[in-house]
């Protein structure tokens, strides 16, 4: 029996990667970013982007955001990572000759993008943090806040799933116009153009990395981490939102299990970085652990819940929105605009009201190695908890499949 042998192009670029393979790559890239810069975050810089843009029209948000926007550095880590994620997805789809504008099909999708983006923006800055900064970076960084976010973004995703039917376009029984089919020659030409553009953009980023070395030595490295994150997510369809949405919406947990694997690998990687950076003597930890121990309080619960709702409605979380933006999804482009607007609102609420409220904001974080008496205990307990969640997710999917089979 003759089987067609796949080319290296199909294996490395054309065919989708498995969720598990993507989980490993994402964990390695996140650990590398943590080691050479700081944890992966997405939303912290969005309100600054929005403030700088509105400043072009004479509107100053320095007072509302409580920071000097004139000090914004476009070569700083979060900006470079976000741009890298979007361009990584763009390049990935170009190299696979799959890039195109994906149009919005109904007014309901418009409202889903607007409302979802606003909820994500407000929630991510009230928290503050998103599926990436608060959870995917927070849990491996041994911050209790990461686990709190994990729980309440899950509940928010359930609520978003309940609202989702209101935003799904109704079935249409009218015959749609058939899309224009390209001839084999036209498809071949489009494939060559897109692959060439993908290679050209990679070359452009190499030039940028070399040129930025003098003013921002780490920018080139950070950009390539971002490109790798975006490329991996697009190439595998890895979606952090679906990891929380799918178990209750469809019963599927493949993405959930992949996320748990990634968190486990990143936990080990981050532990190595922390030990090399701070040592094993926890009494010598810096007083202000910053992103390693974000404050836990009602603000985090509210922010995670709102973010979960918004991510489901918008069709992707912060990183997913950037990825789909790069792929040409017009709904994600619209969601990104309202995401930035929501981040401006949320950041202002956080700076002007939340941090001043003893009811909403405790100002205290919990660094798990310090709370549990050492890195060994923290690593063991965290890995056991992730393993138990993986087993639970696997059981849940099998149960749903069995119930579906009976029906």
For the stretch 128-153, pLDDT in tens is 999 999 999 999 999 999 999 999 99
What are the backbone angles phi and psi of residue 397, rounded to the nearest 5°? -65, -45
Rounded average pLDDT over 342-362: 94
The structure's pTM equals 0.92
pLDDT at 407 over 90: no
Instruction: Supply the pLDDT for residue 401.
Output: 78
The DSSP call for residue 6 is P
- Report percent pLDDT > 70 for the chain: 92
- How many CA atoms lie less than 13 Å away from 40 in the CB half-sphere? 32
Of residues 127, 128, 134, 125, the one with CA closest to residue 347: 125
**What is the distance between the alpha carbons of residues 102 and 98, in angstroms, rounded to a whole number?**
11
What are the backbone angles phi and psi of residue 265, rounded to the nearest 5°? -65, -45
Supply the mean pLDDT for the chain: 89
Residue 205 binned pLDDT confidence (cut-offs 50, 70, 90): confident
- Whether the CB-CB separation of 40 and 229 falls below 8 Å is answered with yes
- Whether the CB-CB separation of 139 and 147 falls below 8 Å is answered with yes
CA distances from 185 to 14, 181, 199, 359 (A): 19, 11, 21, 66
pLDDT at 1 over 50: no
Of residues 94, 154, 83, 153, the one with CA closest to residue 124: 153
Sequence-ordered alpha helix ranges (H) in 176-289: 184-211, 219-236, 240-249, 254-278
The DSSP call for residue 57 is T
CA distances from 59 to 49, 55, 73, 123 (A): 13, 5, 19, 24
Q: Which letter, b or e, does each residue of 11-45 get, where b requires 16 or more Cβ atoms within 10 Å of its Cβ?
A: eebeeebebeebbbbbbbbbbbbbeebbbbbbbbb
Instruction: Supply the pLDDT for residue 287.
Output: 65
Helix/strand/coil for 273: helix
**For the chain, domain boundaries:** 15-65+73-165+186-279+289-401
pLDDT at 169 over 70: no
Q: What is the DSSP string of 145-189?
A: HHHHHHHHHHHHHHHHHHHGGGGSPPP--SPPPPPPPPPHHHHHH
Instruction: Supply the pLDDT for residue 2.
Output: 45
Between 8 and 388, residue with greater pLDDT: 388
Q: Which of 186-200, 254-268, 291-305 has the highest mean pLDDT?
A: 254-268
- Report percent pLDDT > 90 for the chain: 69
pLDDT at 126 over 80: yes
- Whether the CB-CB separation of 136 and 147 falls below 8 Å is answered with no
Rounded average pLDDT over 166-189: 69
Neighbours of 360 (CB within 10 A): 18
CA distances from 146 to 129, 334, 378 (A): 9, 28, 14
Instruction: Supply the pLDDT for residue 289.
Output: 55
pLDDT at 89 over 50: yes
pLDDT at 399 over 50: yes
Instruction: Supply the pLDDT for residue 44.
Output: 92
**What is the distance between the alpha carbons of residues 319 and 324, in angstroms, rounded to a whole number?**
9
How many angstroms separate the first and last alpha carbons of the chain? 38
Instruction: Supply the pLDDT for residue 362.
Output: 84
Residue 404 binned pLDDT confidence (cut-offs 50, 70, 90): low
Residue 173 binned pLDDT confidence (cut-offs 50, 70, 90): very low
Instruction: Supply the pLDDT for residue 176.
Output: 52
Of the candidate ranges 253-257, 295-299, 360-364, the one whose mean pLDDT is the lowest: 360-364
Cβ contacts of 240 within 8 Å, gap of 6 or more: 131, 132, 135, 136, 259, 311, 317, 319, 320
Between 48 and 6, residue with greater pLDDT: 48
Instruction: Supply the pLDDT for residue 6.
Output: 64
Rounded average pLDDT over 49-75: 93
Between 54 and 171, residue with greater pLDDT: 54
pLDDT at 168 over 90: no
**What is the distance between the alpha carbons of residues 270 and 129, in angstroms, rounded to a whole number?**
18
CA distances from 31 to 7, 34, 111, 231 (A): 31, 5, 37, 17
The DSSP call for residue 98 is -
Rounded average pLDDT over 208-214: 77
Instruction: Supply the pLDDT for residue 285.
Output: 76
Q: Which letter, b or e, does each residue of 57-84 get, where b requires 16 or more Cβ atoms within 10 Å of its Cβ?
A: eeeebeebbebebeeeeebbbbbbbbbb
């Amino acid at each position: 029996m003759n089987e067609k042998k796949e080319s290296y192009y199909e294996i490395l670029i054309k065919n989708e990667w498995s969720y598990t393979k993507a989980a490993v790559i994402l964990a390695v890239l996140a650990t590398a970013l943590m080691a050479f810069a700081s944890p992966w975050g997405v939303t912290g810089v969005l309100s600054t982007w929005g403030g700088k843009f509105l400043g072009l029209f004479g509107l100053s948000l320095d007072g509302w955001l409580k920071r000097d926007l004139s000090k914004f550095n476009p070569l700083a880590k979060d900006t470079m990572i976000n741009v890298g994620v979007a361009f990584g997805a763009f390049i990935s789809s170009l190299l696979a000759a799959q890039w195109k504008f994906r149009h919005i099909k109904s007014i309901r999708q418009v409202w889903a993008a607007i409302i979802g983006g606003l909820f994500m923006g407000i929630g991510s800055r009230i928290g503050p943090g998103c599926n990436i900064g608060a959870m995917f970076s927070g849990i491996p960084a041994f911050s209790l806040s990461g686990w709190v976010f994990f729980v309440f973004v899950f509940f928010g995703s359930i609520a978003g799933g309940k609202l989702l039917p209101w935003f799904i376009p109704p079935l249409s029984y009218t015959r749609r116009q058939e899309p224009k089919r390209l001839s084999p020659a036209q498809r071949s030409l489009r494939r060559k153009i897109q692959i060439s553009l993908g290679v050209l953009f990679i070359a452009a980023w190499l030039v940028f990395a070399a040129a930025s070395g003098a003013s921002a030595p780490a920018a080139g490295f950070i950009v390539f981490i971002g490109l790798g994150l975006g490329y991996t997510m697009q190439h595998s369809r890895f979606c952090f939102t679906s990891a929380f949405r799918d178990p209750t919406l469809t019963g599927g947990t493949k993405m959930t299990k992949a996320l748990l694997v990634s968190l486990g690998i990143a936990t080990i990687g981050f532990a190595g970085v922390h030990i090399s950076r701070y040592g094993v003597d926890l009494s010598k930890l810096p007083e202000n652990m910053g992103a390693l121990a974000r404050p836990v309080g009602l603000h985090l619960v509210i922010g995670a819940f709102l973010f979960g709702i918004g991510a489901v409605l918008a069709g992707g979380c912060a990183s997913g929105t950037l990825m789909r933006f790069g792929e040409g999804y017009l709904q994600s482009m619209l969601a990104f605009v309202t995401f930035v607007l929501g981040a401006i609102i949320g950041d202002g609420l956080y700076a002007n009201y939340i941090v001043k409220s003893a009811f909403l904001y405790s100002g205290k974080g919990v660094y798990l190695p310090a709370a549990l008496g050492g890195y060994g205990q923290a690593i063991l307990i965290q890995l056991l908890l992730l393993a138990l969640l993986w087993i639970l997710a696997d059981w849940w999917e099998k149960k749903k499949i069995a119930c579906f089979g009976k029906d």
